[in-house]
């Protein structure tokens, strides 16, 4: 075996282990979504937010079409047959989440956004139980509570007064709608079509682009459209590839491996990862409550995983 063959076998083996590990793909998806929050901070003044969302999904769609142009036609009959489901997943689920969170950020604080985003796993569990009667074990419930408390510690900077002093406004309600969109999207992934994740994402991205296009027109007519600068183009490329194509593909794979309830719990890693990325990229300081929050979130994921195993054994 020559050096090239040996190196290639190692790479294939590593990718197989990564692709078949729910922990790995879901953690990587959360890390890329956290990078997206940092990218959005940098994008202020470089490109208008709704235009960024539209071009993000358009770029993702074009990239996937270029790579899988020979495979996509095989699945077009299925898409035409179930176009309402695909529109719901992409045009409402993904586009709805990204648009509502962009609009919510205009009217409410980052603390509120972080706390409210922590309700996504709870909504996933609730919708899973209401729609598909997915059982919720006690350890899973405790894991959810631990992760949610970790998010509260993080976004409140460890201050109880910060939480009790919150005043919810219209932006908070928009964020709740965003979380509901993504929770329904996550639950629906558990009953997804028999289609590879990247192919699913390609069609989702197309419908998300269509939905975002309407709101970009509104942004233009209101005089708020900001065309991308050079830095804005770089941010757009990152958003189209990492938090859109790669993270969504990893998340779809994670749902297939571990189920919607446990996959949704990993969303709580996003604000934790975002804090560390902000420290490294934006030179923000790291506090002790960041470490406490990380420990609580990871403990919650462990409890949920252990609780699922115990339920399966029974």
Burial of 246 per CB tally in 10 Å (0-12, 13-18, 19+): middle
Is pLDDT above 80 for 14?
no
Could you give the C-alpha distances from 69 to 64, 76, 80, 200, in angstroms and in order? 8, 11, 17, 13
Q: What do you get for the CA distance between the two ends of the chain, in Å?
A: 47
Domain limits of the chain? 25-313
The two structure tokens encoding residue 223: 């005089």
3-class secondary-structure state, position 137: coil
- For the chain, give the mean pLDDT: 79
Please tell me the distance from the alpha carbon of residue 123 to that of residue 249, in angstroms, as a whole number: 21
Residues 74-83: what's their mean pLDDT? 91
> Could you tell me which of 39, 44, 49, 9 has the C-alpha nearest to residue 241?
39
285, 291, 292, 296 alpha-carbon torsion, rounded to 10°: 130
Residue 263 and residue 188: Cα distance in Å, rounded?
A: 12
Residue 310 pLDDT: 52
Query: Could you tell me the pTM of the whole model?
Result: 0.74
pLDDT for 155 equals 65
Interatomic CA distance for residues 243 and 13, integer angstroms = 25
Name the nearest CA neighbour of 153 among 145, 280, 183: 145
Tell me the pLDDT tens digit for each residue of 241-279: 988 889 888 988 888 888 776 777 777 777 778 777 777
CB 185 within 8 A of CB 97: yes
Model confidence at 303: pLDDT above 60: yes
Q: How far is CA 301 from CA 20, 195, 224, 264, in A?
A: 18, 28, 41, 10
The most confident of 136-140, 167-171, 303-307, by mean pLDDT:
136-140
- CA dihedral sign of residues 83, 84, 88, 92: positive
What is the pLDDT, as a whole number, of residue 163?
A: 63
Q: For 58-71, what is each residue's pLDDT tens digit?
A: 999 999 999 998 89
Rg (CA), the chain: 20
**The pLDDT value given to residue 4:** 44
pLDDT of residue 157: 64
Where on the phi/psi map is residue 133: left (φ > 0), alpha (ψ -120 to 50), or beta?
Answer: left
| Cα-based angle 160, 162, 164 (whole degrees, multiple of 5) | 70
pLDDT band, residue 166 (cuts 50/70/90): low
Average pLDDT of the residues in 175-181: 83
Q: Over 70: is that where the pLDDT of 7 sits?
A: no
Query: For residue 193, is pLDDT > 50?
Result: yes
The sign of the dihedral angle between the CA atoms of 245, 180, 96, 298 is negative
What is the token pair recorded at 119?
């309700």
Asked if pLDDT for residue 297 goes beyond 60, the answer is yes
């Amino acid at each position: 075996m020559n050096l090239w063959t040996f190196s290639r076998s190692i790479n294939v083996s590593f990718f197989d282990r990564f692709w078949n590990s729910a922990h790995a793909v879901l953690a990587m998806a959360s890390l890329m979504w956290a990078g997206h929050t940092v990218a959005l901070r940098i994008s202020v003044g470089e490109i208008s937010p709704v235009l960024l969302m539209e071009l993000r999904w358009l770029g993702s769609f074009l990239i996937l079409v270029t790579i899988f142009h020979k495979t996509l036609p095989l699945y077009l009959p299925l898409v035409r047959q179930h176009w309402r489901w695909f529109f719901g997943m992409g045009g409402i689920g993904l586009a709805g989440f990204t648009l509502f969170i962009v609009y919510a950020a205009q009217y409410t604080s980052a603390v509120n956004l972080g706390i409210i985003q922590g309700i996504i796993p709870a909504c996933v569990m609730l919708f899973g139980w209401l729609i598909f009667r997915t059982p919720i074990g006690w350890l899973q419930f405790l894991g959810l509570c631990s992760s949610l408390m970790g998010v509260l510690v993080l976004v409140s900077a460890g201050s109880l007064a910060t939480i009790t002093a919150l005043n919810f406004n219209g932006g908070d309600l928009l964020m709740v709608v965003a979380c509901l969109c993504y929770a329904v999207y996550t639950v629906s992934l558990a009953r997804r079509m028999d289609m590879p994740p990247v192919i699913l994402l390609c069609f989702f991205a197309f419908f998300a682009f269509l939905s975002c296009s309407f709101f970009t027109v509104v942004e233009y007519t209101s005089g708020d459209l900001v065309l991308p600068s050079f830095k804005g183009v770089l941010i757009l490329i990152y958003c189209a590839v990492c938090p859109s194509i790669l993270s969504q593909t990893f998340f779809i794979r994670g749902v297939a491996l571990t189920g919607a309830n446990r996959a949704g719990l990993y969303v709580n890693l996003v604000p934790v990862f975002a804090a560390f990325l902000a420290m490294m990229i934006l030179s923000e300081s790291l506090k002790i409550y960041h470490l406490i929050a990380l420990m609580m979130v990871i403990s919650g994921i462990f409890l949920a995983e252990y609780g699922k195993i115990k339920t399966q054994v029974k």
